[in-house]
Amino acid sequence: MRVDCSCGAGAVVSRTERDKQNPNAADLYCSCTKPECGHSFVASLGFKHSLNLPASFPAGVTLDASVQGTRIFCGCGERATIQKTNRLSINVSDIYCHCSGCGHRFVMYRAYAYTLSPSALTTNELAVALIRSIPPSARRELKQQLSLF
């Protein structure tokens, strides 16, 4: 499971905690791998929706998925693999998962929750790093939004 820091560098997950309200979600405690940054933060990871249900499943049965540590488990109990991560915005990503046990394909969300200790990078350095880390289409959108100021 890869989590990105707001500076665009990768972050490591030091521990996870199950969400008390939502059994299909967990809080990930992350810290940036870039020594100059030092940002540590909490991201939440949870089940969003199914893309398909296994053909062998009876109609009307729904499957979900849950998080254990930094691993994602399909509702059938098998560990699911991450196929791709789709960054929707700076703080939110969709994670596409597949369970090889039953064939369930589903989407998990990962969202930045809050900062534990702020980055040592300056606001300008962070802004530049951030803009570099987002896809060109999102960059164009951001440019338009910025031009409104």
Q: Confirm or reject binding of residue 37 to Zn ion (CB under 5 A).
A: yes
Q: Confirm or reject binding of residue 78 to Zn ion (CB under 5 A).
A: yes
- Name the residue among 29, 69, 64 with its Cα closest to residue 49: 64
Among 1, 28, 67, 102, binds Zn ion (CB under 5 A): 102
What is the nearest approach in angstroms of Zn ion to the Cβ of residue 51? 12
C-alpha dist (Å) from residue 146 to 88, 112, 131, 132, 149: 18, 22, 12, 15, 6
Among 1, 3, 7, 97, binds Zn ion (CB under 5 A): 7
Contact 105, 119 (CB under 8 A): no
What is the nearest approach in angstroms of Zn ion to the Cβ of residue 37? 3
- In angstroms, rounded to a whole number, what is the distance separating the alpha carbons of residues 83 and 88? 16
Give residue for tokens 């164009």.
140
What is the nearest approach in angstroms of Zn ion to the Cβ of residue 137? 23
**Residues interacting with Zn ion, by CB under 5 A?**
5, 7, 9, 32, 34, 37, 39, 74, 76, 78, 99, 101-102, 104
